[in-house]
Amino acid sequence: MDSIIFDLDGTIWDPIDTVLLAWNSYLKEHPQVHRELTRKDFEGTMGLQMQEIGLKLFPYLSEEVREQVIRSCCEVEEEYLEKHGGSLFPQVETVLRNLSNAYKLYIVSNCQDGYIESFYAYHKLEKYFQDFENPGRTGLSKGENIQLIVERNQLTSPIYVGDTEGDRKAARYARIPFIYAQYGFGEVSESDDVIKAFSELSKFY
């Protein structure tokens, strides 16, 4: 193993409370949105791309309005995350610091362009990562973005750590081992290894 590629939401942090505040601050002013979103609403969207999230949260909106709402929510979201951050899982920075001494670390998340930058801006963890990728920047699937990171950084033996079935499928698509972050938001059908807390990654150093 020469490198570790991480999912972000549900693996490194829980951003939902901040994201909820951001989205609802915008949605309460929108005439076609019927209600405020809840934490349960967002938990059901973890691992999905933005278009899929929009369809799940706002199925009653036209495609054009839905895309505009999602785009505006994401803009507000990035501002909130940059100012308020999310909830890092216990011992994240300590574990990342130690892992980065032994491996190259990366992030591949199903998020919009600017989201990972907002995570970095508040939590100051970019120093532990070599590179990152997302569909907002490339238009690719998570599996394809994992492959892109592998090829771009000439990785020979990476693993992927994530918390959803989509993460598992992406790792299988990229033909790399998958470690299931069981403490996160999703459930998976199978994995190569399981961690019940982020701190359990300390077994790799």
Answer whether 117's CB lies under 8 Å from 125's CB.
no
What's phi and psi for 101, nearest 5 deg?
Answer: -75, -20
What single string gives the DSSP state of each residue in 109-132? -S--TTHHHHHHHHH--GGG-SEE
Q: Over the stretch 2-28, which tens digit does the pLDDT of each residue have? A: 999 999 999 999 999 999 999 999 999
What value does the mean pLDDT take over residues 114-137?
97
What value does the mean pLDDT take over residues 177-184?
97
pLDDT confidence of residue 118: 96
Answer whether 64's CB lies under 8 Å from 44's CB.
no
What value does the mean pLDDT take over residues 156-160?
98
Q: Which of 189, 139, 196, 146 is nearest to 164 (CA)?
A: 189
- Asked whether the predicted pLDDT for residue 121 surpasses 80, the reply is yes
Q: Over the stretch 35-50, which tens digit does the pLDDT of each residue have? A: 899 999 988 888 788 8
Q: Which of 130, 126, 145 is nearest to 49 (CA)?
A: 145
